[in-house]
């Protein structure tokens, strides 16, 4: 044990001779700042071979809305509301296009997108909410980045884990809630 103590003392004294308190405090401050910034880094969810980064390989049964004003298969990545989604579809995980599966909670923090409904050719504002609290669903991965903005505009970027406003920051799936009709652009 004496050898280990001597080696530790020699290393400690060597570090004390070569560094000042200010440089040590500066290094420690930088490390703490870097550690504080770590949770805001984007989360890479899952990768897939399909062009939209997802789908479940065609293993689900079609789930048409039955509403001519809301056409499409809600369990398909090609559903019109999913134009800016990134994550597992809650419709494949026990929830719906606008509700979370049982045992999860909807994050109050969202990202938004503007998608065009093919039934009326109007643009709608879609709020993408992550459902949080249980581990990832793992079904119907969908990654579409239409209108995605750089990470300096986080409210329009889908690469974050948006579960920070919930009891648990564990991601499960994502919903696509219609917030309203988008205003027409002036020409």
Q: Which candidate, 102, 163, 78, places its Cα nearest to that of 90?
A: 102
Question: Which residue among 111, 120, 159, 162 is the active-site one?
Answer: 111
Contact call for residues 168 and 133 (beta carbons, < 8 A)? yes
For residue 171, which of 112, 128, 120 has the smallest C-alpha distance? Answer: 128
Torsion of CA 4, 7, 10, 15, to 10 degrees: -100
- Tell which phi-psi region holds residue 162, choosing left (phi > 0), alpha (psi between -120 and 50) or beta: alpha
130 has catalytic annotation: yes
Q: Which two tokens stand for residue 97?
A: 């296009």
User: Could you say which of 130, 148, 159, 162 is catalytic?
Assistant: 130
Active site residues: 111, 130
């Amino acid at each position: 044990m004496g050898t280990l103590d001597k080696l530790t003392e020699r290393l400690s004294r060597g570090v004390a001779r070569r560094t000042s308190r200010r440089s040590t405090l500066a290094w420690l401050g930088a490390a703490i700042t870097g550690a504080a910034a770590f949770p805001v880094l984007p989360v890479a969810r899952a990768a897939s071979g399909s062009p939209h980064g997802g789908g479940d390989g065609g293993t689900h049964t079609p789930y048409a809305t039955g509403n001519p004003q809301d056409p499409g298969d809600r369990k398909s990545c090609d559903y019109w509301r999913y134009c800016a989604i990134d994550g597992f579809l809650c419709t494949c995980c026990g929830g719906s296009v606008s509700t979370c599966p049982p045992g999860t909670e909807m994050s109050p923090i969202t990202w938004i997108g503007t998608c065009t409904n093919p039934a009326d050719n109007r643009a709608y504002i879609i709020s993408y909410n992550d459902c949080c609290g249980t581990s990832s669903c793992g079904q119907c991965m969908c990654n579409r980045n239409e209108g995605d903005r750089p990470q300096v505009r986080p409210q329009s970027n889908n690469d974050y884990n948006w579960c920070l406003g919930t009891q648990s920051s564990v991601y499960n799936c994502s919903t696509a809630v219609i917030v309203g009709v988008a205003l027409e652009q002036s020409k």
